Amino acid sequence: MTSRKPIVAIDGPAGAGKSTIARRVAEKLGFIYVDTGAMYRAVAWKSLRAGVSLSDSDGITALAKSMTIRFDRSNGQRVFADSTDVTEAIRTPEVTRLSSPVSAISGVRRRLVEMQREMGTAGGIVMEGRDIGTVVFPDAEVKVFLTASPEERARRRQLELAEKGIESSLDDLAAQMRERDDRDSSREDSPLRQAADAAPIDTDNMTIDQVVEAVLRLCEERMRGCCSTT
């Protein structure tokens, strides 16, 4: 029996609803929420800013090692790369595209996984990404693998962009998403895949509330008697 608080790992492809669900589950449990995709995006942002080309894996690894990535939870969930608030800057299409090949660089992954494990030392955390249940916290008490059909995921992303006043084509979004999924799933280091002991949830015909409920139910089942939640 462990004395740390539980860890909830939520993995899945882009647009499956991980961020929304993970954030709400963390709120309900009073746990810390960590969006690991934002960390890969921050490294991609920094490499663009520093003019380090994607072909220079060592250069990008050196950047990842030298920079700090911090979440400020006092004012929503702001993301800082060193002292710069990059919360909005890491969501541009350019950074989104670059974050996938940057996340395939082993040196970058090693550094970020180390930071993520540090964040989870005390538990009491909901962490979402692609390799949380498989690599970062293989012993997490709760593991969820969220999926949705490519059409549904593209539709959700379109709505999200529309809310920011950005018009986009569903076909283009679906194509970009497919490309990112293929790359994230086929890379050698820590590819996106479901952990053997993760609970799969297909969110296609579910509301956000229903998915949150399903994850909370799973937390209740898995956390019962396994460790302290207070």
For ligand DC, the closer CB: 52 or 99: 99
For ligand DC, the closer CB: 88 or 221: 88
CB of 230 to ligand DC, least distance (A): 28
Task: Tell me phi and psi for residue 203, to 5 degrees.
Answer: -95, 5
CB of 202 to ligand DC, least distance (A): 18
Span near ligand DC by CB under 6 A; candidates 24-32, 33-41, 62-70, 143-151? 33-41
Q: How many residues does the chain have?
A: 230
Side chain identity at residue 220, one-letter code: E
The span from the CA of 222 to the CA of 147, in Å, is 21
Judged by CB under 6 A, the number of residues near ligand DC is 13
Span near ligand DC by CB under 6 A; candidates 96-104, 146-154, 196-204, 208-216? 96-104
| Binding status of residue 12 toward ligand DC by CB under 6 A | no
Among 100, 134, 158, 176, binds ligand DC (CB under 6 A): 100
CB of 220 to ligand DC, least distance (A): 25
> Which residues 6+ apart lie within 8 Å of 34 measured at CB?
71, 116, 119, 120, 125, 126, 127, 128
Among 8, 36, 67, 111, binds ligand DC (CB under 6 A): 36
Are β-strands 78-81 and 69-72 bridged in parallel, bridged antiparallel, or unpaired? antiparallel
Beta-bridge partners for 32: 125
Span near ligand DC by CB under 6 A; candidates 36-44, 45-53, 144-152, 205-213? 36-44
Note the helical H segments in the chain.
18-29, 36-50, 57-66, 93-103, 106-119, 150-163, 170-186, 208-223
CB of 15 to ligand DC, least distance (A): 8
Are the beta carbons of 86 and 99 closer than 8 angstroms?
A: no
Beta-bridge partners for 8: 126, 142
Span near ligand DC by CB under 6 A; candidates 60-68, 126-134, 139-147, 157-165? 126-134
- Interface residues with ligand DC (CB under 6 A)? 14, 36-37, 40-41, 99-100, 103, 129-131, 180, 184
